[in-house]
A and B are shown apart, each in its own frame.
Chain A
Amino acid sequence: MRRKRTLGGLAAGLAAVLALAACGSDGGSSGSDASTTGTGAKLTPVKLQLQWFTQAQFAGYIAAKEKGFYRDAGLDVKLLEGGTDIVPQTVLAQGQADFAVAWVPKALASREQGAQITDIAQIFQRSGTRQVSFADAGISGPADLKGKKVGNWGFGNEYELFAGMTKAGLDPGKDVTLVQQQFDMNALLSGDIDAAQAMSYNEYAQVLEAKNPKTGELYKPSDFTVVDWNDVGTAMLQDAVWASTDKLQNDRAYQQTATKFLTGSLRGWIYCRDHAQECRDLVVAAGSKLGASHQLWQTNEVNKLVWPSPEGIGMVDKAAWDRTVQIARATKNADGQTVLTKAPEGLAYTNQYVEQALSALKGDGVDVTGSSFKPLTVTLNPGGG
Chain B
Amino acid sequence: MTDAALSTAAAATVAGPATGATPTGDPAGPDPLGLPPRRQAAGVAARDRLRRGVLALVALVLLCAVWEGYKAVGSPQGTRLWGAPVLPRTTDAAMPHVWSVLAELGRPELSLRDDRTVGESVLRGMWFSLRVALAGFGVGVGVGVLLAVAMARLRVLERGLLPYVIASQTIPLVALAPLVAGWGGRLHLGGLAWQRWMSVALIAAYLAFFPVAVGMLRGLQAPAAESVELMRSYAASWWQTLIRLRLPASVPYLMPALRLAAASAVIGTVVAEISTGTRGGVGRLIIDYSMSASSDATRLYDAVLGAAAIGLVMAAAVALLEAAVGRRWGRHA
Residues of B within 8 A of A7 (CB): 243, 247
Asked if A184 meets B291 with Cβ closer than 8 Å, knowing A10-B325, A14-B138, A21-B131, the reply is yes
| In the assembled complex, B120 has its CB within 8 A of some CB on chain A | no
Chain A: how many interface residues by the 8 Å CB criterion? 63
Name the residue on B nearest A54 (C-beta): B279
Partner of B185, one of A25, A28, A30, A96: A96
Q: Is the CB of A25 within 8 A of B132?
A: yes
Q: Is the CB of A86 within 8 A of B290?
A: no
* B317 CB, min distance to chain A CBs, angstroms: 9
> Which A residues between 181 and 230 are near B, CB-CB below 8 angstroms?
183-186, 189-190, 202-203, 206-207, 209-211, 213
Name the residue on B nearest A380 (C-beta): B295
Q: Is the CB of A209 within 8 A of B288?
A: no
| In the assembled complex, A362 has its CB within 8 A of some CB on chain B | no
* A219 CB, min distance to chain B CBs, angstroms: 9
Asked if A85 meets B89 with Cβ closer than 8 Å, knowing A18-B138, A21-B138, A291-B110, the reply is no
Name the residue on A nearest B14 (C-beta): A3
Residues of A within 8 A of B259 (CB): none
| In the assembled complex, A26 has its CB within 8 A of some CB on chain B | yes
Partner of B291, one of A13, A202, A381: A202
Q: Is the CB of A29 within 8 A of B196?
A: yes
Residues of A within 8 A of B288 (CB): 53, 289-290
Q: Is the CB of A3 within 8 A of B248?
A: yes
Q: Is the CB of A18 within 8 A of B278?
A: no
Q: Is the CB of B93 within 8 A of A83?
A: no
Interface pick from B15-23, B60-68, B173-181: B173-181
| In the assembled complex, B139 has its CB within 8 A of some CB on chain A | yes
Q: Is the CB of B135 within 8 A of A21?
A: yes
For B125-148 the 0/1 string (1 means CB < 8 A from A) is: 000100110110111011000000
| In the assembled complex, A319 has its CB within 8 A of some CB on chain B | no
Interface pick from B162-170, B220-228, B269-277, B305-313: B269-277
Residues of B within 8 A of A2 (CB): 328
Q: Is the CB of A209 within 8 A of B292?
A: yes
Q: How far is the CA of A219 from the CA of B60 in the complex (A)?
A: 36
Q: Is the CB of B110 within 8 A of A53?
A: no
| In the assembled complex, B197 has its CB within 8 A of some CB on chain A | yes
For B265-299 the 0/1 string (1 means CB < 8 A from A) is: 00000000011111110001101111111111000
* B268 CB, min distance to chain A CBs, angstroms: 14
Q: Is the CB of A85 within 8 A of B134?
A: no
* A186 CB, min distance to chain B CBs, angstroms: 6
Q: Is the CB of B134 within 8 A of A21?
A: yes
Q: How far is the CA of A292 from the CA of B274 in the complex (A)?
A: 23
Residues of A within 8 A of B113 (CB): 284-285
Partner of A210, one of B181, B275, B295: B295
Residues of A within 8 A of B91 (CB): 190, 213
Q: Is the CB of B276 within 8 A of A86?
A: yes
Q: Is the CB of B294 within 8 A of A185?
A: yes
Partner of A6, one of B185, B285, B292, B325: B325
Residues of B within 8 A of A253 (CB): none
Asked if A284 meets B112 with Cβ closer than 8 Å, knowing A6-B328, A21-B131, A85-B174, the reply is yes
| In the assembled complex, B182 has its CB within 8 A of some CB on chain A | yes
> Which B residues between 297 and 333 are near A, CB-CB below 8 angstroms?
321, 325, 328-329
Q: How far is the CA of A383 from the CA of B55 in the complex (A)?
A: 37
Name the residue on B nearest A21 (C-beta): B135
Q: How far is the CA of A47 from the CA of B182 in the complex (A)?
A: 13
| In the assembled complex, B201 has its CB within 8 A of some CB on chain A | yes
Asked if A25 meets B197 with Cβ closer than 8 Å, knowing A91-B182, A207-B294, the reply is yes
Q: Is the CB of A84 within 8 A of B321?
A: no
Residues of B within 8 A of A86 (CB): 178, 181, 276-277
Partner of A84, one of B132, B134, B287: B287
Partner of B178, one of A85, A209, A213: A85
Q: Is the CB of B289 within 8 A of A289?
A: yes
| In the assembled complex, B109 has its CB within 8 A of some CB on chain A | yes
Q: Which 8 A-B pairs have the closest CB atoms?
A: A83-B277, A21-B135, A289-B288, A210-B295, A206-B294, A185-B294, A85-B275, A28-B280
Q: List 26 A-B contacts (CB under 8 A).
A: A3-B247, A4-B243, A7-B243, A14-B142, A20-B134, A21-B134, A22-B135, A25-B128, A25-B131, A28-B197, A28-B280, A29-B280, A30-B279, A81-B277, A84-B274, A84-B275, A84-B287, A85-B177, A90-B178, A94-B182, A183-B291, A190-B94, A206-B295, A289-B288, A290-B291, A294-B292
Please name 5 further chain A to chain B contacts, defined as beta carbons within 8 Å, in addition to the given A10-B325, A290-B291, A291-B111, sorted by A numbering. A6-B328, A86-B276, A184-B294, A210-B295, A289-B288
